[in-house]
């Protein structure tokens, strides 16, 4: 892990861009030490940040007229974080408290990522801000920081989102084994188009059964004696609780689908990949109960269109987005207005150093 420290007479002036992500297959497997195959996308969060000697972090965003004004030495204490206003600033504070930047400054945050859509807007925000504040680390270390930050403000997320936001390569998805945090890059064929369509149901994970599903998985893991991502189908008949058995079956079969999907992509068999996406959605809807009737209807509608190989819900579920794998041009995102995007597999977080700010800089912060 490295921290970028300014010299005595200049302050850092940086521009950071962090992508969102869409998970092609492998949901609710990360916190179960299983497999997932997400990819970074060309929708992103950007932070322009100029350090100053103020001892405070002043952060502006385009999604809230109220800025965050935080001391650089804010403690990493959930009770303190819960009282921060505006509400979005609690996550910023949880990131900043762990980075422990030696200087204050002014940051301007913009984003093309829709909030509450399941495209990892919070991980993009956290990774971009941590990077802007001078935190430089491998994907697994950055992911741990972001997971702690989200947990401190009430959301027990896994490591998948910040890992891919940090470590993705352009043109590729990222297959991650969460039992070891080993990852490898999987090329996406050029004739594979990926379209994301919002279901129209916004959600904040802390207000959904997401945490309840995690608790059920933890209970099932205790019964089996292993994390669900390392369980096998032979373990299922011995489970007495039918709910825990269904949750386990989803995780076990989903990990198998991730491996098969990576093989299908490597061989260019997009029809097989699409079939696996449909199987994944059925498992998420029936065994994991993480879908909704509207999302199910959208998946079915997309899958029935000519040139669409398959579709599934993506992200934590309970609303948000559906991802479809298609032939080139099979789906026109404009059909759904501003609720659909054709996304491109993109690189992870990037930082650009700009001309250094003078020693007596006291404000500003260029938009990016």
Active site residues: 161
Alpha-carbon gap, residue 280 to 25, rounded angstroms:
7
Contact 191, 327 (CB under 8 A): yes
Residue 353, strand partner residues: 14
Helix (H) / strand (E) containing 265: helix 242-267
Find the length of the chain: 368
Contact 118, 318 (CB under 8 A): no
CA distances for 357 relative to 55, 190, 335, 350, angstroms:
16, 42, 45, 20
Alpha-carbon gap, residue 89 to 84, rounded angstroms:
6
The residue with tokens 């990016």 is 368
CA distances for 173 relative to 58, 230, 273, angstroms:
35, 22, 13
DSSP 190-252: TT-EEEEEE-S----GGGTTHHHHHHHHHHHHHHHTS-GGG--GGGGGG---HHHHHHHHHHH
């Amino acid at each position: 892990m490295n921290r970028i420290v300014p010299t005595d007479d200049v302050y850092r002036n940086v521009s950071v861009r962090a992508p969102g992500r869409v998970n092609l297959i492998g949901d609710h497997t990360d916190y179960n030490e299983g497999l997932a195959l997400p990819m970074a996308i060309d929708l992103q969060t950007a932070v322009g940040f100029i350090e100053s000697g103020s001892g405070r972090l002043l952060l502006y965003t385009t999604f809230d007229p109220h800025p965050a004004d935080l001391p650089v030495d804010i403690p990493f204490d959930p009770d303190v974080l819960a009282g921060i206003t505006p509400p979005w600033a609690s996550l910023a504070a949880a990131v900043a408290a762990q980075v422990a930047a030696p200087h204050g400054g002014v940051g301007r945050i913009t984003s093309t990522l829709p909030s509450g859509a399941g495209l990892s807007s919070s991980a993009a925000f956290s990774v971009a801000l941590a990077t802007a504040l001078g935190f430089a680390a491998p994907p697994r270390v950055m992911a741990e920081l972001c997971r702690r930050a989200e947990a401190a403000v009430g959301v027990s997320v896994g490591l998948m989102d910040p890992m891919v936001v940090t470590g993705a390569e352009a043109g590729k998805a990222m297959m991650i084994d969460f039992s070891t945090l080993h990852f490898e890059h999987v090329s996406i064929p050029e004739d594979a188009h990926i379209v994301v369509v919002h279901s129209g149901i916004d959600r904040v994970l802390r207000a959904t059964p997401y945490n309840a599903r995690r608790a059920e998985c933890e209970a099932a893991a205790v019964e089996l004696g292993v994390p669900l991502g390392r369980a096998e189908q032979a373990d299922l008949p011995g489970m007495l609780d039918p709910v825990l058995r269904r949750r386990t079956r989803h995780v076990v079969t989903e990990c198998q689908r991730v491996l098969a999907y990576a093989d299908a992509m490597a061989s260019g068999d997009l029809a097989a990949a699409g079939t696996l996406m449909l199987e994944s959605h059925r498992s998420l809807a029936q065994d994991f109960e993480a879908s909704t009737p509207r999302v199910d209807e959208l998946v079915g509608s997309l899958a029935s269109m000519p040139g669409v190989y398959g579709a599934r819900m993506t992200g934590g579920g309970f609303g948000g987005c559906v991802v479809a794998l298609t032939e080139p041009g099979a789906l026109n995102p404009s059909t759904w207005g501003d609720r659909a995007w054709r996304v491109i597999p993109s690189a992870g977080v990037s930082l650009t150093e700009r001309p250094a700010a003078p020693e007596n800089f006291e404000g500003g912060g260029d938009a990016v």
